[in-house]
């Protein structure tokens, strides 16, 4: 074929594996747009969310430090802190209810977006704590810690496999549409026979993050709390979604113009954490967690304090806890150091059974 004819043919772009596309799209999205114009998260809905988690941190933090010798300080680590609202609300409560703990506290934020780092810095400027930013967990110093992550894991890149007859093919993105690979046999799906048309998602980056957190908790005392939307039990089906201007759009829209998320598989991450040697509690539904921690009482107190805001407070509470709103779809999983590492720790508040994952029927 003459070179001129070849040059005039439309060029097909190289296929990009879905997780690479999602990582690139979200990095551009969080760096370039104000995500909170497109979606609202629990701490942005009501201060009640962060305040209750602040009180939770006070209880858990005392348990962590109870078993520590040498007067180590407590690190409060947050992964994907958004605008910093959750951390501001938690710290405000910690100062009040646990001043001795607050005095030893250092805050560490894991955030890759320069734009959101700036927002977090502004939000925390009056909080009275020392704040350090990190690209990942590796650079967070070793020591006793509480880690919280709200709607962080759902933004991490997923891989999707599609059943064709009894075999798996992996989804790629090419020229703005999905393309399928040749037959693959990913180790994560080893031994699992595909159903025709079945879609399975895995999130190796979320699993790697939880594995790293759990490994730390097996060496240093601490607790991690993961809150996200997803399933308590591994399920097949496609959950990748994109939001732009508050509305669902195709996940394959121009990379960086929409927020891409997928359901978190809590069974998978609990197993990753337990395989690393940590204890897991939950998952519990967000509504149950918040009500157990006192959401209704806190809302009542806010309504009494500011009666002309009462309707707003009630509407926000309903959004957080009602089963048909965020109450059921969102879930919380606590990952904790084993007893040998943190002798002062008991089951975290809000996980009412007090029974570690796997010691009860969760299905």
User: Of 74 and 148, which has the nearer Cβ to ligand SAH?
Assistant: 148
Q: Is residue 75 within the footprint of ligand SAH (CB under 6 A)?
A: no
Q: Enumerate residues 196-225 that contact ligand SAH by CB under 6 A.
A: none
For residue 205, what are the contacts with CB-CB under 8 A and spacing of at least 6?
A: 19, 23, 156, 157
Q: Is residue 316 within the footprint of ligand SAH (CB under 6 A)?
A: no
Q: Is residue 44 within the footprint of ligand SAH (CB under 6 A)?
A: yes
Q: How far is the CB of 286 from ligand SAH (least distance, A)?
A: 12
Q: How far is the CB of 10 from ligand SAH (least distance, A)?
A: 34
User: Of 81 and 350, which has the nearer Cβ to ligand SAH?
Assistant: 81
Q: Is residue 45 within the footprint of ligand SAH (CB under 6 A)?
A: no
User: Of 149 and 268, which has the nearer Cβ to ligand SAH?
Assistant: 149
Q: Is residue 286 within the footprint of ligand SAH (CB under 6 A)?
A: no
Q: Is residue 292 within the footprint of ligand SAH (CB under 6 A)?
A: no
User: Of 43 and 61, which has the nearer Cβ to ligand SAH?
Assistant: 43
Give the count of alpha carbons within 13 A of 235, CB side only: 12
Q: How far is the CB of 298 from ligand SAH (least distance, A)?
A: 18
Stretch that binds ligand SAH, among 11-19, 36-44, 53-61, 290-298 (CB under 6 A): 36-44
| Cα–Cα distance for residue pair 218/215, rounded to 1 Å | 5
Q: How far is the CB of 125 from ligand SAH (least distance, A)?
A: 18
User: Of 111 and 170, which has the nearer Cβ to ligand SAH?
Assistant: 111
Binding mask 90-129 for ligand SAH (x = CB under 6 A): --------------------xxxx--x-------------
Q: How far is the CB of 78 from ligand SAH (least distance, A)?
A: 7
Q: Which of 18, 91, 105, 155 binds ligand SAH (CB under 6 A)?
A: 155
Q: Which of 15, 43, 222, 251 binds ligand SAH (CB under 6 A)?
A: 43
Q: Is residue 326 within the footprint of ligand SAH (CB under 6 A)?
A: no
Centre a 10 Å sphere on the Cβ of residue 34 and count the other Cβ atoms it contains: 11
User: Of 21 and 357, which has the nearer Cβ to ligand SAH?
Assistant: 21
User: Of 163 and 285, which has the nearer Cβ to ligand SAH?
Assistant: 285
Q: Is residue 151 within the footprint of ligand SAH (CB under 6 A)?
A: yes
Q: Is residue 168 within the footprint of ligand SAH (CB under 6 A)?
A: no
3-state secondary structure the chain: CCHHHHHHCCCCCCCEEHHHHHHHHHHHHHHHCCHHHCCCCHHHHCHHHHHHHHHHHHHHHHHHHHCCCCCCCCEEEEECCCCCHHHHHHHHHHHHHCHHHHCCCEEEEECCCHHHHHHHHHHHCCCCCEEEEECCHHHCCCCCEEEEEECCHHHCCCEEEEEECCEEEEEEEECCEEEEEEEECCHHHCCCCCCCCCEEEECHHHHHHHHHHHHHHCCCCEEEEEEEEEECCCCCCCCCEEEECCEEECCCCCCCCCEEECCEEHHHHHHHHHHCCCEEEEEEEHHHHHHHCCHHHHHHHHHHHCHHHHHHHHHHHHHHHCHHHHHCCEEEEEEECCCCCCCCCCCCCCCCCCCCCCCCCCC
Q: Which of 26, 127, 160, 239 binds ligand SAH (CB under 6 A)?
A: 26
Q: Is residue 41 within the footprint of ligand SAH (CB under 6 A)?
A: yes
Q: Is residue 261 within the footprint of ligand SAH (CB under 6 A)?
A: no
- Burial class from Cβ neighbours inside 10 Å (0-12, 13-18, 19+) for residue 27 reads middle
Sheet containing 241-244: order of strands: 247-249, 241-244, 259-261
Q: Is residue 63 within the footprint of ligand SAH (CB under 6 A)?
A: no
Q: Please, which residues bridge with residue 294 across strands?
A: none
What φ, ψ does residue 222 adopt, rounded to 5°?
Answer: 170, 175
- State the number of binding residues for ligand SAH (CB under 6 A): 19
Binding site for ligand SAH (CB under 6 A): 26, 30, 35, 41, 43-44, 80-82, 86, 110-113, 116, 150-152, 155
């Amino acid at each position: 074929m003459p070179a001129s004819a070849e040059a005039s043919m439309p060029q097909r772009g190289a296929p990009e594996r879905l997780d690479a596309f999602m990582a690139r799209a979200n990095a551009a999205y969080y760096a370039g747009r104000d995500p909170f114009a497109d979606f609202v998260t629990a701490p942005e809905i009501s201060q009640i969310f962060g305040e209750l988690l602040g009180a939770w941190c006070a209880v858990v933090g005392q348990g962590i430090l109870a078993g520590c010798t040498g007067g180590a300080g407590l690190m409060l680590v947050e992964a994907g802190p958004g605008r910093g609202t959750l951390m501001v609300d938690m710290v405000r409560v910690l100062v009040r209810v646990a001043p001795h703990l607050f005095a030893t506290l250092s805050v560490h934020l894991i955030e890759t977006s320069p734009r959101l780092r700036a927002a977090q810095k502004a939000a925390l400027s009056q909080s009275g704590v020392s704040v350090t930013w990190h690209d990942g967990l590796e650079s967070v110093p070793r020591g006793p810690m509480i880690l919280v992550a709200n709607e962080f894991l759902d933004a991490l890149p997923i891989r999707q496999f599609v059943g064709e007859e009894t075999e798996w093919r992996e989804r790629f993105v090419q020229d703005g549409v999905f393309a399928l690979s040749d037959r693959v046999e990913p180790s994560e799906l080893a031994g699992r026979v595909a159903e025709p048309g079945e879609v399975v998602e895995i999130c190796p980056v979320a699993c790697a993050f939880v594995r790293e957190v759990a490994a730390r908790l097996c060496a240093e005392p601490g607790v991690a709390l993961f809150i996200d939307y997803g399933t308590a039990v591994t399920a097949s089906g496609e959950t990748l979604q994109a939001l732009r201007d508050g509305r669902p759009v195709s996940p394959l829209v121009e990379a960086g113009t929409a927020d891409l998320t997928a359901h978190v598989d809590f069974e998978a991450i609990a197993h990753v954490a337990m395989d690393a040697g940590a204890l897991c509690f939950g998952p519990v539904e967000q509504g149950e967690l918040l009500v157990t921690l006192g959401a209704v009482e806190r809302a009542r107190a806010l309504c009494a304090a500011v009666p002309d805001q009462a309707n707003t407070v009630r509407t926000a509470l309903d959004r957080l806890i009602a089963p048909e709103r965020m109450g059921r779809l969102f879930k919380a999983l606590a990952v904790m150091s084993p007893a040998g590492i943190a002798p002062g720790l008991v089951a975290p508040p809000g996980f009412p059974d007090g029974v570690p994952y796997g010691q009860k029927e969760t299905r």
